[in-house]
Structure 1
Amino acid sequence: MTHILAIDQGTTSSRAILFDAQMKITATAQQEFPQHFPDSGWVEHDVSDLWRTVVETCRDVVAKADIDADSIAAIGITNQRETTVVWDRDTGEAVYRAIVWQDRRTAAFCRDMKDHEPMVTARTGLLMDPYFSGTKLRWILENVEGARAKAAAGKLLFGTVDSYLIWKLTEGRAHVTDATNAARTMLYNIHEGRWDAEICKLLDIPMDMLPEVKDCAADFGTTDLLGPTIPVLGVAGDQQAATVGQACFDKGMLKSTYGTGCFALLNTGQTAVTSTNRLLGTIAYQLDGKPTYALEGSIFVAGAVVQWLRDGLGIIGQASDTQPLADKADPQQRLYLVPAFTGLGAPHWDPDARGAIFGLTRGSGPAEFARAALESVGYQTRDLLEAMKADYATVGGDLGNTVLRVDGGMSASDWSMQFLSDILGAPVDRPKVLETTALGAAWLAGMRAGVYPDQAGFAETWALDERFEAKMDEADRAEKYAGWQDAVARTLTR
């Protein structure tokens, strides 16, 4: 068996990627699916779209590669995190659309529960925020007719997207998840490695709805989807899978992924750091029953701001148009775009904030908007790193000489990565393999299957494509960042 199949189920599309025995990409298939916005701040997916696109891309990628499915040794899954699915144990039908991680409908409930946040944070590393799965699950039970009674009777199951896909792939034989996805639900005690009964009681969630939690490399069941029986041996939430794919196995290593949102993870080793700057404590990965922890900063809008330029404003035809347009921007104008379309994530956590543009003049046009959009990603990343530096210092860590490893679609933009390095005042490394999320899932499965090397061997395969060094002088950097901080302060609602 010479191949590993990675399923990458994301926020706007599903992808299947085949890797060969040398961890090189053999073929890729991708399908987008509709987004649903039934109310302000609400974001949903039709669960059938998630499953359909996964099935079709898996079959497409095998056809494209022109291989026999029996040459696939294992499947690895990586997925959009926090997105919440509740389905009928007997029929497999979802009782409601998937509530997406971006969804803010439970903001009022989270505000009402703020007194409980210290307890929740101490156990889960997370904040009492609509971002996470727990309050989304509660909303479904409270608002879908008959759901509460069915759940109490043991007839409904909950899962993040990975869990639902595995349940479908195994035809209902496995109701499981991995530690990284469990850690994003706000229901999982990351220190004790178990679902937290007190938090479940607080949110009125029956614990028998919850999946069994496994390591990231484990036996998750088998599937006959492609004909021959293939084991699912690797699972990790997308940002944790990217951390693995970037080989950030050493304490102090840092990666940032630029997709729909932006997510920076700092490996803190065996220490679960409690943030005083409203970052998240989480599990980076778990192998052999031992969790490795991370500090995480989550930005809700990164690549999505470019989609907004294209679909909302219509000033670009495709994402690649943004960079040449930004190059034409008037250097004398300084626009700040705060892309709080669905609130602001770390380190602000203001679900009620909304997007704003500051510094407009009569001369402001598409070029200035494009530049401000790209720069917003760099500014938000610096917000995260400033918070990480402060938190990591509390346990004796020092990020003074840290190199940021980047990946995701937006990392292909030289303009964006150069500005990122400039505003951070730090080196930014882009690897040769940008598909680090899928690669991480593939390595977990392939390592478990005995096809791929161990951690040390895998880390040696990481290869640099380009390093971006800061060119901006310190005074200009400080002035630009101060302007950004002022713009954000004007946007915050609390």
Structure 2
Amino acid sequence: MCGSEDGYVLTLDAGTTSVRAIVWDHEGNPRGSGQYGVTQFYPYPGWMEQDPEEIWHLQWRAAEDAISSAGIEKGRLVGIGITNQRETSVLWDARTGRPVYSAIVWQDRRTSSYTDMLKENPGELRERTGLIPDPYFSAPKVRWVLDNVPRARDLALLGDLRFGTIDSWLLWKLTGGRVHCTDHTNASRTMLFNVNRLQWDHDLLEVFGIPGSILPEVRPSSFTYGYTDESVTGVSIPVTGMIGDQQASLFGHTALSPGQVKNTYGTGSFVLVNTGNRPVVSRELVTTVAYSLEDHRAIYALEGSIFVSGAIVEWLIDGLGLFKGVGELVSQAEVVADNGGVYTVPAMAGLGAPYWDPHARGLIIGLTRGTTRAHIARSALESIAYQTEDVLRALSSSIRSRPSELRVDGGASGNDFLMQLQADISSVEVVRPGILETTSRGAAFIAGIAAGIWHLDELPRLYRVERRFQPRMDRSKREDLYRGWKEAVRRSMGWSGYGRP
């Protein structure tokens, strides 16, 4: 161990539905935490927004809770690591520090028509950015704000507008407006960043009509970005790491070798495979920067982004009121031996990888008079596993190798029934670690390397496996179920225009 045992790392984890903060010790164990839910706004169908100021205030409140529950003084923090929902975009006035518009969340679909036009000739954009034209990414959101929010473009032309994903916004607030930066992983999610050259792409800025002056500087993920403003945080603390949440999860799993794969089961699901120090281009998946250290070249990953997974469970509980909670939904799913021919396609925000159809919409199909809510519960959980299998098949085609192991994290990964479903449907060993807060842990590792707490090569010894799930399903049954899933997906695609005046 290269760092002092007296030092602690604080991680700020700004997720889609909540913000969390965790204090980590030198052995990579959580010592204190805090968490608050973030308000979601849906002004119109397909739109999703959040309040950037609420995100900031709740994030630091969670940090104060974490420090208090850890029972340490702030002066013992040797670094802060920020991890975040990635493509969500904030634009603010540099003079006042106030947002000019709400944060447009990664699930927002308002720019679908515009990105449809980009899909007519996606080759060069994919080659430069590794991304597929979709409303998911930041550039169309930024363009929308510049075109639709009064004075936004004027502020940009005057040099007074700033853009950032949530990491940049939090860093700006923490440092009292002194530092405007992002890291390679978050920059690679904007559709404005050349992943081959690791710099902003001026040609793409012209395509989107976005002034380069609003962009943050790009730095390695593990890097001393600056120090917090004492008037904000009480003491001056170095911010030593920033990394997008899904890349943080990959790093937290210590998936440091090419071919290692993880999936995070959260609001959406995100499957990433480490591809080493070269970007791999795929027709169905996106190329992204996995992480970067100050003295190393960037490491890349292929990613399959699934927009709705755990959110389908929340919708059945809170939206439809079919179940009182997750426990009841899972227990109902376990009652039936199979899905009874029922499939749920949770395309509430369109379909991500490998389909990339923003016009797809959710459906529940195969209903009969014999269908019960137990069948619907099971089909919802199965949909999470099927979507992961979609990505694993695309991934296997892209890297010409089928993974034998899938490392998992996120809230739903704690569910034994779902993890066994995943092992069965994908015929893969599912590996669950002892610490499920893998995203925050990855952010701690990234920040801790720059702070001198850890070396990269010693991280794998800190990874502990809690349980392994082995596949048990017969191959013919698995393939039959999967064929039904693919047909259900086909029927959900291109639906958004129907039934509206």
TM over 0.5: yes
Residue aligning to 1:413: 415
Residue aligning to 2:25: 20
Task: Give the stretch that moved more between structures: 376-385 or 284-293.
Answer: 284-293
1:141 aligns with 2:152: no
Partner deviation per Cα, 1:353-398 (whole Å, 9 max, x = no partner):
10011110112222111111100000000000100111112xxxx2
Residue aligning to 1:109: 114
1:279 aligns with 2:280: no
Within 5 Å, which residues of 2 pair with 1:69-468? 69-223=74-228, 224=230, 225-276=232-283, 278-287=284-293, 288-329=295-336, 331=338, 333-393=340-400, 398-399=401-402, 401-451=403-453, 453-468=454-469
User: Which whole-Å CA distance do the structure 2 matches of 1:290 and 1:320 have between them?
Assistant: 45
Q: Which amino acid counterpart does residue 43 of structure 1 have in structure 2?
A: M
Task: Give the stretch that moved more between structures: 332-341 or 293-302.
Answer: 332-341
CA RMSD of aligned residues (A): 1.1
Partner deviation per Cα, 1:119-172 (whole Å, 9 max, x = no partner):
110000001110000000000000001111111111100000000100000001
Where 1:290 maps in the other structure, the secondary structure is: coil
Preserved contact between residue 89 and residue 163 of structure 2 (Cα < 8 Å): yes
User: Which whole-Å CA distance do the structure 1 matches of 2:40 and 2:363 have between them?
Assistant: 23
Preserved contact between residue 253 and residue 402 of structure 1 (Cα < 8 Å): no
Shift of 1:2: 2.2
Task: Give the stretch that moved more between structures: 248-257 or 322-331.
Answer: 322-331
1:31 aligns with 2:36: yes
Shift of 1:289: 4.6
Shift of 1:341: 0.2
Partner deviation per Cα, 1:260-295 (whole Å, 9 max, x = no partner):
00000011112211102x210111111125111111
Preserved contact between residue 181 and residue 237 of structure 1 (Cα < 8 Å): yes
Residue aligning to 2:494: 493
Where 1:371 maps in the other structure, the secondary structure is: helix
Where 1:368 maps in the other structure, the secondary structure is: helix
Preserved contact between residue 176 and residue 212 of structure 1 (Cα < 8 Å): yes
User: Which whole-Å CA distance do the structure 2 matches of 1:230 and 1:25 have between them?
Assistant: 19
Q: 1:209 to 1:406 in 2, by over 3 A?
A: same
Partner deviation per Cα, 1:216-272 (whole Å, 9 max, x = no partner):
100111113332210000110000000000001000000000110000001111221
Aligned pair partner of 1:64 in 54, 69, 76: 69
Shift of 1:77: 0.5
Q: What TM-score, normalized to structure 1?
A: 0.97
User: Which whole-Å CA distance do the structure 1 matches of 2:340 and 2:302 have between them?
Assistant: 35
Residue aligning to 1:54: 59
User: Which whole-Å CA distance do the structure 2 matches of 1:368 and 1:219 have between them?
Assistant: 51
Preserved contact between residue 113 and residue 128 of structure 1 (Cα < 8 Å): yes
Task: Give the stretch that moved more between structures: 154-163 or 108-117.
Answer: 108-117
User: Which whole-Å CA distance do the structure 1 matches of 2:14 and 2:358 have between them?
Assistant: 25
Preserved contact between residue 20 and residue 34 of structure 2 (Cα < 8 Å): yes
Preserved contact between residue 167 and residue 175 of structure 1 (Cα < 8 Å): yes
User: Which whole-Å CA distance do the structure 1 matches of 2:291 and 2:174 have between them?
Assistant: 23
Preserved contact between residue 254 and residue 402 of structure 1 (Cα < 8 Å): no
Partner deviation per Cα, 1:194-215 (whole Å, 9 max, x = no partner):
0000000000000010000010
Point out where structure 1 has 5 or more consecutive residues left out of the alignment.
Answer: none
User: Which whole-Å CA distance do the structure 2 matches of 1:385 and 1:316 have between them?
Assistant: 30
Preserved contact between residue 174 and residue 233 of structure 2 (Cα < 8 Å): no
Preserved contact between residue 339 and residue 378 of structure 2 (Cα < 8 Å): no
Q: Which amino acid counterpart does residue 280 of structure 1 have in structure 2?
A: V
Q: Which amino acid counterpart does residue 450 of structure 1 have in structure 2?
A: G
Q: Which amino acid counterpart does residue 143 of structure 1 have in structure 2?
A: N
User: Which whole-Å CA distance do the structure 2 matches of 1:201 and 1:319 have between them?
Assistant: 47
Residue aligning to 1:469: 470
Where 1:35 maps in the other structure, the secondary structure is: coil
Point out where structure 2 has 5 or more consecutive residues left out of the alignment.
Answer: 1-5, 496-501
- Return structure 1 stretches of 4+ with deviation > 6 angstroms: none
Preserved contact between residue 48 and residue 105 of structure 2 (Cα < 8 Å): yes
Aligned pair partner of 1:8 in 5, 13, 18: 13
% identical aligned pairs: 45
Residue aligning to 2:481: 480
Q: Which amino acid counterpart does residue 444 of structure 1 have in structure 2?
A: I
User: Which whole-Å CA distance do the structure 2 matches of 1:102 and 1:117 have between them?
Assistant: 21
Residue aligning to 2:499: none
Preserved contact between residue 41 and residue 48 of structure 2 (Cα < 8 Å): yes
Preserved contact between residue 338 and residue 378 of structure 2 (Cα < 8 Å): no
Preserved contact between residue 339 and residue 379 of structure 2 (Cα < 8 Å): no
Partner deviation per Cα, 1:385-436 (whole Å, 9 max, x = no partner):
100111112xxxx22x520000000100000000000000110100111111
Q: What TM-score, normalized to structure 2?
A: 0.96
User: Which whole-Å CA distance do the structure 2 matches of 1:462 and 1:20 have between them?
Assistant: 14
Shift of 1:318: 2.1
